[in-house]
A and B are shown apart, each in its own frame.
Chain A
Amino acid sequence: MDFIITILEQGLIYGILALGVYITYKILDFPDLTADGSFPLGAAVSASMITRGVNPYLTLLAAFAAGALAGICTGLIHVKGKVRDLLSGIIMMTALWTINLRIAGTSNVPIFSKETIFKNSFLENFLPEALLPYRTILVIVILAVISKLLLDFYMSSKSGMLLRAVGDNDKLVISLAKDEGNVKILGLAIANGLIALAGCIFCQEERVFEISMGTGAIVIGLASVIIGTSIFKNLTMIKATTAVIIGSIFYKACTAVAMRNFEPQDMKLITAVLFLVVLLVSMDRKKKVKSHA
């Protein structure tokens, strides 16, 4: 039971990250490596604010804002500086390493004794006794559902439709008398905001900030997006955002099962191999190349 709950917790947290990656990879068609930096950015913001005694729930908003700012920087480098999309992300990812260290102070910030969004006097006073053991998963479910619903709402708005259009056909956006660069920057801001939010929640769940916690975040995000969208591609009633979160839980379950038989240092290799398997099975790349031809 604990095993399953841990998978759900991690899967849902990374599900929020996957929502962000879904925006860049699927909607904007932008291979955004900023994720590897904005995920720990959210964690660094969260850890440094919590050690200063700020209300942990406020750190969620602050992390989102910080991530959005990182996304805007990537967007500006790409749109205004005319740097290739992949390189813009790499530049920001590299820069963020130092920025994260500066924000957190050191490469490792434990927040074990502090109040977090999962463990605080408010929850202890108001949550029924019976639910207390499940408070972590409860809070995570609520946050993931809110993120998903807000993103769904945004995607069906006029601004969201323009965002979907820009990845599909940026000429059309220009024809609609809108600056396609600004729309891209907006998309990157929302995506990296969500990714940083996931980092913030992850940091509080693990009760520690670790500078290298973002390494490979983009791989996990991409794998979740690809699994989710290819499992449910024929079911139109399931929204892509839901599919992506389920994909993330599925991916976390696969790694968790695999990790039972391996050492912790094998983690990254398993992540990489699983991602490759997902790619080969889903054949997502071929479809993408074809539809862009």
Chain B
Amino acid sequence: MLELKNIYKYYNPGTLNEMCLFQDYSLTVEDGQFVSVVGSNGSGKTSMLNIICGSIPIESGSIVLDGEDITKEKEFRRNQRIGRVYQNPAMGTCPSMTILENMSLADNKGKRYGLGRGTNKARISHYQELLRPLNLGLEDKMDVKVGSLSGGQRQAMALLMSTMTPIEFLVLDEHTAALDPKTAEIIMELTDKIVREKKLTTIMVTHNLRYAVEYGDRLVMMHQGENVIDCAGAEKQAVSIDDILVKFNEISIECGN
């Protein structure tokens, strides 16, 4: 279970440009829940993910993962238990290393990176088993550098790599936004499959309202650092894209757009 408790976050604190994003913001994600988050630009979606992962500091409040306060923990330490896929497919893989080397690196997450051999031949077939269901032919290109793959292929790898080792929490930061519609669809289906299979607690930010409605068992819509829609279960099943659009328009009118 992940809890954000009474988060306060200011940008440019102490200056004329001071901007308050979160004011007493709280969010609780139950174990095994798949939360889709939507919202306009600047509503605080990505900032919230950055706060969970520790990429940006907060003014006050606490972040609790499975009962353990991780507010003070550094980003790389939190990643021991959190997997993250970024919007930019290049962020989740190493372009100058081969598919095999990338998979091996991810496979070793949580263990020591010592002087033992970096790639283990005995694991190759296991990696190929993971890659085969993608139907991208990556399993036959183990020695190809990841830099020569397409964005969709890289994002699929990034998703596999971030969920290879046991993690408690998966963070998806608009991970289909940079992909063409067809590839985005494939990645989204893959995401759903992995999340269901591994029963991962997941939070996904997306601009695609259809994905937000179709996938996940809870829907959150953010606006100016607050949740304006938050529904789960049967209530979430009943929500349609139009409902969200109506809310979007309301907000836009409030803002004078």
Contacts and interface: CB of A to CB of B under 8 A. Distances in A.
Provide the main secondary structure of the chain A interface.
helix
B76 A161 contact: no
Contacts of A178: 76, 113
Interface string A141-157: 00000000000001011
Contact of B109 (A157, A168, A177): A177
Interface stretch (B21-29, B31-39, B85-93, B247-255): B85-93
Contact of A168 (B84, B97, B106, B110): B97
B97 A157 contact: no
A291 B95 contact: yes
Contact of A164 (B92, B94, B119, B147): B94
Interface in B73-126: 74-77, 79-80, 83-84, 86, 90-97, 101, 104-106, 108-110, 112-119
B97 A176 contact: no
Given A171-B86, A174-B79, 6 more contacts: A157-B116, A157-B117, A159-B113, A161-B119, A169-B91, A175-B84
Size category of the binding interface on chain B = 20 to 34
B77 A158 contact: no
Given A158-B115, A161-B105, A176-B105, A168 B94 contact: yes
Nearest to B79: A177
B93 A158 contact: no
A154 B97 CA distance: 16
> Sorted from nearest, which 6 A-B pairs have the closest CB atoms?
A161-B118, A177-B80, A177-B79, A168-B94, A158-B113, A162-B113
A110 interface: no
Given A158-B113, A159-B114, A175 B97 contact: no
A169 B93 contact: yes
A180 B76 contact: yes
B96 A164 contact: yes
Contacts of B114: 157-159
Contacts of B109: 175-177
A158 B119 CA distance: 8
Interface string B147-177: 1000000000000001000000000000000
Interface of A: 154, 156-162, 164-165, 168-169, 171-180, 291
Nearest to A165: B94
A248 B91 CA distance: 34
A172 B79 contact: no
Contacts of A169: 90-91, 93-95
Contacts of A162: 105, 113
Contacts of B116: 157-158
Residue among B90, B97, B113 with the highest chain A CB neighbour number at 10 A = B113
Contacts, number: 81
A159 B115 CA distance: 6
Contacts of B113: 158-159, 161-162, 178
A173 B117 CA distance: 18
A168 B92 CA distance: 11
A168 B96 contact: yes
Interface of B: 74-77, 79-80, 83-84, 86, 90-97, 101, 104-106, 108-110, 112-119, 147, 162
A225 B10 CA distance: 46
A158 B108 contact: yes
Contacts of B90: 169
Nearest to B55: A174
A20 to B, nearest CB: 19
B96 A174 contact: no
B74 A179 contact: yes
A178 B74 CA distance: 10
B115 A154 contact: yes
Contacts of A291: 95, 147
B115 A179 contact: no
Contacts of A180: 76
A175 B115 contact: no
Given A158-B108, A169-B93, A175 B117 contact: no
A156 B80 CA distance: 23
A44 B86 CA distance: 48
A177 B77 contact: yes
B147 to A, nearest CB: 7
A269 B162 CA distance: 51
Contacts of A173: 76
A172 B84 contact: no
A171 B117 contact: no
Contacts of A159: 113-115
Contact of A172 (B74, B91, B117, B147): B91
A172 B104 CA distance: 13
Given A171-B91, A177-B110, A161 B96 contact: no
